[in-house]
Chains A and B, each alone.
Chain A
Amino acid sequence: MGYPNKPHLKETIVLSQHFGDADARTFKGWTKRGGYEALSQAFKMTPVEVIEVVKESGLRGRGGAGFPTGLKWSFMPKEKKKPHYLCVNADESEPGTFKDREIMRWTPHALLEGTAIAAHAIQAEIAYIYIRGEFTEPWTIMEKALAEANAANVFGKIKIVLHRGAGAYICGEETALMNSIEGKRGNPRIKPPFPAAAGLFGMPTTINNVETLTAVPHILKRGAAWYKGLCLSNPKSTGTKLFSVCGHVQRPGNYEVTMGFPLKDLLYEMCGGVPAGRTLKACIPGGSSVPILNREETERTLLDYEGCVAAGSMLGSGGVIVFDDSTDMVYQIMRLARFYAHESCAQCTQCREGTAWTTKIMERILAGQGKMQDLDLLLDLSENMTGKTICVLSDSCAAPVVSGIKKFKNEFEDYITGRRKPVMVA
């Protein structure tokens, strides 16, 4: 539902049904609402059977990459020779995204149930839920829920462990997450080897996002065909997605819609559009790492994996950041570059130096000391930072810069020519 707002008629409410309902957080409250039935069902199925159902449903990773979940699970060795691990990525740090937090705050048992089903499907004895350090409230709620569920012994042989992060966006990258659990610096690893071959502690591992796993009990209970049928546009994008809408909208919150839903309707109808007297200037549909869309592109975007690519961006994590015409796009792109410079792990040369250099150039432009060549320089640096590093943090820094210069060039030029007064000191 559009929590913290009231549910909207056009939403397809599956994952967010119990947002705001404190009773749903308790074990008793959850089972009263049909919880843990899917888990019992899964335990009666073989791992391969569970994987087939999820594959059939078309569920894709909701953390940002959109990789087909059933296919990812099928990469795990069928014959179990070593310990298998499941890692749950609750490190939600992508600017604009705040859905996993709500899932953990309101429906912790849903996540636990999805985790256990996934662990069963990939034959993992232990599942680590990696919760970012700043999520103090979700942590406490998850701890309590886990204790209750363990007391009721619902997980059988599967052990779920909560692991607390300590402040690093990069630990949301799957291999960095594994390194962090292992007690190391959160550096992404080079691939190969891939996690399904050698992941956590060198053992076959699968990493899934919170929202992805929370969909699994629903798929088991209501069937793959039901989930597959939830599709408004492209048959390769099925199910519902929680879109975290924030920024310049009247009613920010998490809205759950069917894949393929028009972004225009989400923003104007459900969220009430931008504040009175203002107009929409730009929108980032999938968290800050995807290209920025201008108004015209925003209004014709369909919210699924293919639709966002067609509009010139990506679905990513579904963190919808809305900028109205009062926004200084140059300043916000600088702020995003600064975010990436702060979060770079320092392994790859392009990212370590490039994110900081990009930030410096942006700051200089905002201080009134920019030159026209700086725009070409930024574009060149962005290209050098794309597709050449261990992980995509470097590419993510480049995305808003490239799309920003392309679509809001006049704002950059205003600072460079002096038509706009500097807002920073060099």
Chain B
Amino acid sequence: MPDQLINLIVDGVPVSVAPGTLVIEAAKQAGVLVPHYCYHPGLPVAGVCRMCLVEIEKAPKLQIACATTVTEGMVVKTQSAPAKDARKSVLEFLLINHPLDCPICDQAGECELQDFVFQEGRSGTRYGEYAKRFNPVEDFGPDVLYVPNRCILCTRCVRFMDDVAQEPVLNVSERGDRAYIGIHPEARLNHPWAGNVVDLCPVGSLLSKDFLHKARAWELDKTASICTGCSQGCSVTLDTRDEVVVRVRPRPNLDVNRYFICDHGRANYRWMNRGDRIEAPLVRRDGELHATDWDEAFARVLGILRGASGKAVALVSPGASTEALDLARRLLSAFEWTGAFQVVMGEEAPLPGVPNLALRAERAPNAKGAEQLGYTRDYAAAVKAAASAAVVLVLDDPDCPVETAGALIYAGTVLPPETACRAAQVVLPIANVAEEEGTFVNRDGRAQKYFQAKPAPGMARPAAWVLGELAAALGVAEAPR
């Protein structure tokens, strides 16, 4: 029998929520966003910014919505004059020392201070005559810069490092209006998950050095994707500007990564913009690879597949989509099939404050998906078997040290000069994760979809399309839509 729901009214809208829900969350159900800074659903409640003050009937004073639990029959007014005046005054107080850095501040366009001041703030300041508090910029560590002048002391960063990362390396130093976020001089913000403080910072006080002055928030297109850094499968947003991926940020997913991604995943996007891509299908003619069109490339591959029999080996990347991996297997269904992949391994780095969340040792997004489809990790054996196989299909694994007496078909994004795959009969250019739609299966067996953020270069197409066309021609799958 589920708990009895609590009924309350927020700005005239009746809502029913579970007991223990905070007013600020209940308000969301009524379609009301109560302005706030220090509150964050992924962090313990602080109640310090005082931005979320709302009027609650029968309460003698305004209450902060982030620390007030709903009660039956509560009537909440977020837009009453006292509540709005109180919030307006908080914004005024924040702006007396906060510099007008918007023209040079990375946060502009995605800044919660800008947003709420536009929505509820004063149109001019009454703090005309004084100098603002000044402190120089500090370098906190590998990727994080701290601009104390812009800091509104919401303490989200401190609480994140204390409670979620559980490495209390940030503090609030001093008292009163002299306060700032400090770090012990011998410490660095190099925790594997520390980059999240940049996302958590509501203003442009904590900045990513990687993203510094790179792009304006309003120039960015945002696409939902899945991180390819490891097998955890965190939900991310790829931010692109002029079809170049410039930033990776976490996307809320309460079942996997909540609100966070690790620094490894955060930095793991430059390869998506590589210029040295295979841009056209290649077929071997007179001992050399020549560019051609898809029709000829397909015809060559089909010729190889129809004309061969016996063993086939598929050596695949654990970063290929589930769809592509499935089609690769089907494509070779007429053969005695071996499929294998190898995964780069690294150090695991958990985020202690979130259950079952870590930078995983397996540094690939779809190892589980490959396993589920019958691929093994017995890579060395498969490479050996390839030597005598009739057909070898290598899927986006450019470093594969394959040598075969049979026909080598390579489908990949790049084809570096010294790689063994240059011996292929056919080279099929495919899209990378940012250029296609697909599915990854994470280490817990969760299938998650990612979407296309930018166009693929030249004639490259998604692997699922390429293999799908081939499989359809062979009659082992339906034609891709």
- Whether both chains belong to one complex is answered with yes
What is A's interface to B at a CB cutoff of 8 Å?
168, 185, 190, 341-350, 352-357, 360, 364, 369, 377, 381, 384, 387-390
Partner of B93, one of A341, A346, A349, A364: A349
A360–B90 contact, CB under 8 A? no
Chain B's closest residue to A356 (CB) is B177
Report the bound CA distance from A388 to B445 in whole Å.
Answer: 48
Partner of A355, one of B53, B126, B176: B176
Q: Which residues of B contact A377 (CB under 8 A)?
A: 126
Given contacts A352-B179, A357-B96, 7 further A-B contacts (CB under 8 A): A341-B177, A346-B176, A349-B152, A349-B153, A357-B93, A384-B89, A384-B92
Partner of B90, one of A349, A357, A364, A381: A349
Q: Which residues of B contact A355 (CB under 8 A)?
A: 176-177
B93–A384 contact, CB under 8 A? yes
Report the bound CA distance from A71 to B47 in whole Å.
Answer: 28
Q: Which residues of A contact B176 (CB under 8 A)?
A: 341-346, 352, 355-356
Q: How far is the CB of B47 from chain A (nearest CB, A)?
A: 4
* Contact A346-B177, Cβ < 8 Å, known A353-B93, A357-B96: yes
Partner of B51, one of A347, A349, A360, A369: A349
Q: How far is the CB of B56 from chain A (nearest CB, A)?
A: 13
A389–B50 contact, CB under 8 A? yes
B473 CB–A CB distance under 8 Å? no
Report the bound CA distance from A31 to B397 in whole Å.
Answer: 89
Report the bound CA distance from A353 to B130 in whole Å.
Answer: 13
Q: 9 pairs across A/B with beta carbons < 8 Å?
A: A190-B67, A341-B176, A341-B177, A349-B94, A352-B177, A353-B96, A353-B97, A355-B176, A388-B86
B18 CB–A CB distance under 8 Å? no
Q: Which residues of B contact A387 (CB under 8 A)?
A: 61-62
A364–B129 contact, CB under 8 A? yes
B94–A388 contact, CB under 8 A? no
Chain A's closest residue to B180 (CB) is A346
Chain B's closest residue to A364 (CB) is B129
Report the bound CA distance from A352 to B172 in whole Å.
Answer: 13
B211 CB–A CB distance under 8 Å? no
B130–A360 contact, CB under 8 A? yes
A388–B62 contact, CB under 8 A? yes
Q: Interface centre among A343, A353, A364, by most B CB within 10 Å?
A: A353
B89–A350 contact, CB under 8 A? yes
B175 CB–A CB distance under 8 Å? yes
B174 CB–A CB distance under 8 Å? yes
Complex A-B, nearest 9 residue pairs according to Cβ-Cβ distance, in ascending order: A384-B89, A346-B179, A353-B93, A344-B176, A356-B177, A347-B48, A190-B47, A387-B61, A349-B93
Q: Which residues of B contact A381 (CB under 8 A)?
A: 89
A344–B175 contact, CB under 8 A? yes
Report the bound CA distance from A345 to B48 in whole Å.
Answer: 11
B134 CB–A CB distance under 8 Å? no
B49 CB–A CB distance under 8 Å? yes
Chain B's closest residue to A189 (CB) is B47
Partner of B175, one of A345, A348, A353, A384: A345
B77-93, CB under 8 A of A: which get 1 and which 0?
Answer: 00000000110011011
A350–B172 contact, CB under 8 A? no
Q: Which residues of A contact B179 (CB under 8 A)?
A: 346, 352
Q: How far is the CB of B52 from chain A (nearest CB, A)?
A: 11
Q: Which residues of A contact B92 (CB under 8 A)?
A: 384
Q: How far is the CB of B245 from chain A (nearest CB, A)?
A: 37
Q: Which residues of A contact B90 (CB under 8 A)?
A: 349-350
Q: How far is the CB of B218 from chain A (nearest CB, A)?
A: 28
Chain A's closest residue to B130 (CB) is A360
Q: Which residues of B contact A350 (CB under 8 A)?
A: 50, 89-90, 93
